[in-house]
Amino acid sequence: MPTEYGNRLVLGISSRALFDLSDSHRVFEEQGLAAYSDYQIANEEQILEPGDSFELVKKLLSINALVEDGHAIEVILLSRNSADTGLRVFNSIQHYGLDITRAAFAGGESPYRYMSPFGCHLFLSTDAQDVQLVLESGFAAATIMPSAKGGGVGSQLRFAFDGDAVLFSDEAEKVYQAQGLEAFTKTEKQSARQPLTDGPFKSFLAALHRLQSEFPADDCPIRTALVTARSAPAHERVVRTLRAWGIRIDESLFLGGLSKGEFLKAYGADVFFDDQQGHCESASEHVPTGHVPHGIANK
């Protein structure tokens, strides 16, 4: 991470994840880039409605008011727009009072290559191709799905994560996919004291943990949960892996294959990340959800 960012948490977000650009995107798909540019310029004074990640970003930025220097969180716009067509987006950012001042407008190309220079920990987008490019570059990323607008408990920001192929590698999931539940359970029990290798969201979780450590444990504005289909005895390896990483998870739900949606709603997740499309579709009926196209389930 660039030294000027210090230890702050940095989120990269696309225009369409932050705002509802469905009308202008329809113009792009039906009439092409030139018509899209004309439409955005003609409507640049018209404020955009919030998108699926708007409330998450708003909550994230509100944490800055709780720290002494006011710079715990940085949100950066990473957009396929040009600066000209992106003027409407910045007008909307200013209208809603969001403290977003940095941006990369990639002029029709994927902005994934700016993740590293900006020191981003996570990228959220509605473009699955951009998300895949970011993941392949070694950063956490998720495709934001049309989701329930609920979630969240008061002002506290609540993240929820699946385990295998998200926080952890897909090494255990590969055994399950190839040999079934019995072999998976046997292997995980035998490997209980061998930490799982890193998944794409490990570094983001570590950054969250560092930020949480700046606050008293009983008065922290961020809460995390592991929500996994695992059950005992396969839970032990997960617990020991997090312990080996030195990372605290506030809540752990080992559901043994139960549907996750109702549990995520009860937890009050502001966003949930999972690698399996089916789980994401189910969860999105209850809470905001991001699909992580990583691992054997997405091959």
Residue of 162, 164, 274, 275 marked active site: 162
Evaluate if residue 184 carries a pLDDT over 70. Answer: yes
Q: With beta carbons less than 8 A apart as the criterion, state whether 142 and 120 touch.
A: no
pLDDT of residue 143: 98
Instruction: Number of helices (H) and strands (E) in the chain: give both, helices first.
Output: 13, 10
pLDDT confidence band for 2 (50 / 70 / 90): very low
Statement: 3-143 belongs to CATH 3.40.50.1000 = yes
**pLDDT beyond 70 at 3:** no
Nearest Cα residue to 115 out of 85, 145, 86, 74: 74
Instruction: Give the pair of three-digit tokens for residue 214.
Output: 């700046």
- Cα distance between residue 103 and residue 259, in whole Å: 38
| Residues 6+ positions from 294 with CB-CB distance below 8 Å | 135, 165, 166, 170, 199, 200, 275
Position 25 scores a pLDDT of 79
Provide the pLDDT confidence category of residue 236 given band limits of 50, 70 and 90. Answer: very high
The per-residue pLDDT for range 201-229, each reduced to its tens digit, is 999 999 999 999 999 989 999 999 999 99
Q: DSSP for 159-199?
A: EEE-TBTTTB-SHHHHHHHHH-HHHHHHHHHHTTTSPPPB-
Residue among 159, 126, 160 nearest 141 (CA): 126
**Is the confidence at residue 4, as pLDDT, over 80?**
no
Reply yes or no: is the peptide bond before residue 233 cis, omega within 30 of 0: yes
- Give the pLDDT band (50/70/90) at residue 181: confident
Arithmetic mean of pLDDT, 107-115: 93
Distance CA 94, CA 78 (A): 17
Q: Is 164 an annotated catalytic residue?
A: no
Q: Is 14 helix (H, G, I), strand (E, B) or coil?
A: coil
Radius of gyration of the CA atoms of the chain, in A: 19
- Is it the case that residue 21 has pLDDT exceeding 50? yes
Give 1's pLDDT tier (boundaries 50, 70, 90).
Answer: very low
The average confidence (pLDDT) of the chain is 92
Listed in order, the ranges of the chain carrying CATH 3.40.50.1000 are: 3-143, 157-298
The CATH number that domain 157-298 falls under is 3.40.50.1000
Whether 284 has a pLDDT exceeding 80, the answer reads yes
Question: Which pLDDT band, with edges at 50, 70 and 90, does 153 fall under?
Answer: low
Confidence of residue 52 (pLDDT cuts 50, 70, 90): very high
Q: 30 falls in which pLDDT band (50, 70, 90)?
A: confident
Question: Picking from 45-49, 147-151, 252-256, 262-266, which range would have the lowest pLDDT averaged per residue?
Answer: 147-151
Q: Do you know the residue count of the chain?
A: 299
* DSSP string over 239-299: HHHHHHHT---SEEEE-TT--SHHHHHHHT-SEEEES-HHHHHHHTTTS-EEE---SGGG-
Q: Is residue 71 predicted with pLDDT exceeding 90?
A: no
Contact present, 102 and 28 (Cβ < 8 Å)? no
The position carrying tokens 């993240």 is 159
pLDDT exceeds 80 at position 57: yes
